[in-house]
Structure 1
Amino acid sequence: MFSLKFITMHYFTQDFVAFFKDLAKNNHKDWFHENKKRYETSIKKPFEVFVGKLIETIQQYDTNIVIQPKDCMLRINRDIRFSKDKSPYNLHYTAFISREGRKDKSIPGIFLRFSPEMIGIMGGCFGPSKEQLHKIRTTINKDATTFRSLLEHADFVQKFGEIRGETMKRIPKEWQEACKKEPLIANKQFYFVGEEASGLISSENLLEEVMEYWHTMRPVNEYLLKAIQ
């Protein structure tokens, strides 16, 4: 699929998964502070190194990605203000790599979630604005065949399955005929998700495997990016 040669290496030890399993049993500030050094050594620092290397690799194909790992990585602290679950820490580590990073999730990119259960690898438009949504729908409606061909490509189907997202509960009259031709026009989000076993986290082939997902999602991401600009 792509010709870049990878130098295999381990970015994470098995303690990445073990730490989050322990945190799940001890999700409170006292335990976390007692294990802060372990968190820095096994989670935060190697994740930053990996995200930096992933950005560097992506830049060889997309020079518009000019961003630092700190602009992509999300905090381990949970926002508990409006949640019944007051556990202070997430049980996964995440990053959103795109032209705008974590500050704008409407821009298509690659979203990573590493957890003890699995690696989630996501792409597409997760939070488009009303204006962006109208542009996406208009673009699809003008040439639904092109959009559909990207989604039905064998590699995309194998890794991601299909486009996901909330849909309109009531379809406005202006979009009713279009939605009959292409039901995805009714979506309010256009994202897709792939999964790998958590064992990949400590594998020496992690970067290469994630880049295969990036290459597979790239045509759909670029279609959506062009649509919203």
Structure 2
Amino acid sequence: MQYFTNDFVGFFEELSTNNHREWFHANKKRYEESVKKPFEIFLGKLIQEIQKYDPMLDIEPKDCILRINKDIRFSKDKSPYNLYYTAFVSGGGRKDKSVPGMFLRFSPEMVGVMGGCFGISKEQLHSIRTKIDQDSSQFRKLIENKDFVQKFGEIKGRALKRIPKEWKEAYEKEPLIANKQFYFVGEVSPSIITSDSLINELMNYWKVMRPVNEYLIEAIQ
């Protein structure tokens, strides 16, 4: 099924050179019809597909989709709108990015597909490090899986510059112990947005990220 027309990309391409409230409000109906409504329908179907494998996922599109308005309070760039549309599909939705799930970013340049933990608390970070330390071989096996590497490459995130004494031995076995975040990123051509195989393609990414996400979920919970 095709969820989006070419105007999804067209809207953001034009917004990039007209990023002000006057243009956006003049194109509000277009935004609703080409971006917001079809994205909600698409996301609802994606959630239904994920629930076939994860029936415990209890979330709706409105709980996942982030606002198109930018937070410009602390930014030098005062343009009011993001040039992409995003959603965080997880048990915590957009309000809790520490819960591993699938983060999607649709833009004219690419479709970003991300997973793992972003906003981790101090306690959650300690739990993840402890789990990795207890069985670093299992963690390494998951992130070196050929399908995972092919789609996502490697685990990313900010890392400690100085390793605390309590983690030095674990760091020698697994350098990712130093990470303060554990996330991974895949990129797909934006042509997928208008493709009939959009859901299938994204579900392939979800299935590959699932073992790593579940490992992290088990650690933080």
Q: TM-score range by the shorter chain?
A: over 0.9
Equivalent-residue separation in structure 2 for 1:175 and 1:88 (angstroms) = 43
Name the SS of the counterpart of 1:178 in structure 2. Answer: helix
Q: Report the count of equivalent residues.
A: 221
Which one of the candidate residues 20, 28, 36 is aligned to 1:36? 28
Residue segments in structure 2 that go unaligned for 5+ positions in a row: none
Equivalent-residue separation in structure 1 for 2:25 and 2:31 (angstroms) = 9
CA deviation vs aligned residue, 1:72-120 (integer Å, no higher than 9, x gap) = 0000000000000000000000000001100100000000000000000
1:146 Cα shift?
Answer: 0.2
Letter aligned with residue 196 of structure 1: V
Aligned 1:154-173 pairs, distance under 5 A: 154-173=146-165
Give me the identity figure in percent: 70
Equivalent-residue separation in structure 2 for 1:113 and 1:159 (angstroms) = 16
Which one of the candidate residues 15, 22, 40 is aligned to 2:7? 15
1:225 Cα shift?
Answer: 0.1
TM-score normalised by length of structure 2: 0.99
Which one of the candidate residues 102, 112, 117 is aligned to 1:120? 112
In structure 2, the partner of 1:222 is 214
1:64 Cα shift?
Answer: 1.2
Asked if residue 56 in structure 1 is aligned to residue 31 in structure 2, the reply is: no
1:169 Cα shift?
Answer: 1.6
Aligned 1:1-150 pairs, distance under 5 A: 9-150=1-142
Equivalent-residue separation in structure 2 for 1:63 and 1:171 (angstroms) = 39
Equivalent-residue separation in structure 2 for 1:28 and 1:63 (angstroms) = 41
Letter aligned with residue 35 of structure 1: N
Moved over 6 A (4+): none
Name the SS of the counterpart of 2:206 in structure 1. Answer: helix
In structure 2, the partner of 1:180 is 172
User: What RMSD over aligned residues (CA atoms) do the two structures have, in Å?
Assistant: 0.4
CA deviation vs aligned residue, 1:3-30 (integer Å, no higher than 9, x gap) = xxxxxx1000011111000000000000
Which one of the candidate residues 193, 202, 221 is aligned to 2:194? 202
Name the SS of the counterpart of 2:214 in structure 1. Answer: helix
CA deviation vs aligned residue, 1:1-57 (integer Å, no higher than 9, x gap) = xxxxxxxx1000011111000000000000000000000000000000011001011
